[in-house]
Structures are given as structure tokens and as C-alpha cells.
Amino acid sequence: MCMKYFDTACDYAMSAENAKLMVFLPKTDREEVKSFILEAEKQWKLEQPDICEFALLLGDKHIGGLTMYFEGDYTRGELGWIIHRDYWGNGYAVEAAQGLIDFFAKKMKLRRFIAHCDAENAASVRVMEKLGMSYVETHGGRYNRSTVGERQEKLYEIRLDGGNNNG
């Protein structure tokens, strides 16, 4: 992600409709989006980043973002995605997330990936299932930025090392 995509990132990251079931979104103003992008750019310069943020492009059009978070020992990656609502339902999240899994499995030898979402986010559940991820659990303790109170969260994982996908 870079400042080149600032305006389009603001469009989906500040949209309550687009981000209502997300923990860190919607962003409250353009400055908050700018700070996020600048921090993502700093992470790219580190030898061992905690997070890698990617702009999702459809041709030359910026339509969303993908994130790969890393655990301290770099044995597991956590996927995240957001797609602009105008592009929902076209399989872009699945295709892009699969690309991240393939890339980080090859580049960093990651063999375990997780993803989670609000229990009511049926679209993200479908993405995880299409990625071949297995359901692990539903638990409480989720607090979305634009919803009130504690929510339920679904956790999925995939292991590329032949291990059990449920633990």
C-alpha cells in the first residue's frame, strides 16, 4: 500500500457500510487512514516486519487491501482483507488471499495461516472456506469499531504441512 492509493483507501476504509464488521475499521478521518498507510510503508522497510499491507488492484483500479500479520517467530501468518463494496461478490478476496498464502509459503516457508471475522460476516466466512481453511472455533471477546458491545468471532486456519487444520 502506498500514498498513491490514499483517496481510494479512504473511500473503503472510512465507509461504515463497507467496514461495519471489522475490528479496526471504519477509520474516523483521512488523517487516520494516512497514518495507517505511512506505518505500513515503514513496515515494508524492515527486514522482519510485523505486518505486510498490500493494495489490491483490478487493472489500474485500487479496489481493496490485504494484510499479512506475522507471529513473533514467523511460523504463522494471519490474513486480513477488505474489498470496496462495489467489487463484493466477484471472488477478488479469494484470489488475492490465495496469492498471499502461496507467496508467503514459498518466500518465508510459512506452513500455517489463520483468518478470523465477526461471526455475522458471512462473506468472509465464504472466503475462508474457499481458501480451504478449516473452521476452528467461535469465541467471544471481539469488539468491532462500529458495533456496540462484545461480539462473537469465527476463527479458521489452514496448514500446509499436513498437520491437523483444527489445532
Instruction: Give every CB contact of residue 120 below 8 A, 6+ residues apart in sequence.
Output: 21, 151, 152
Q: What is the dihedral of CA 145, 122, 11, 3, to 10 degrees?
A: 80
* pLDDT at residue number 58: 93
CA 55, 56, 59, 63 torsion-angle sign: negative
Q: Tell me what pLDDT residue 42 has.
A: 93
pLDDT at 165: 56
pTM for the model: 0.87
Q: What is the pLDDT of residue 158?
A: 96
**What is the per-residue pLDDT for 32?**
87
Which stretches in the chain have pLDDT values below 70? 1-2, 25-26, 72, 162-167
Grid cell, residue 148, equals 456496540
User: What's the pLDDT score for residue 163?
Assistant: 64
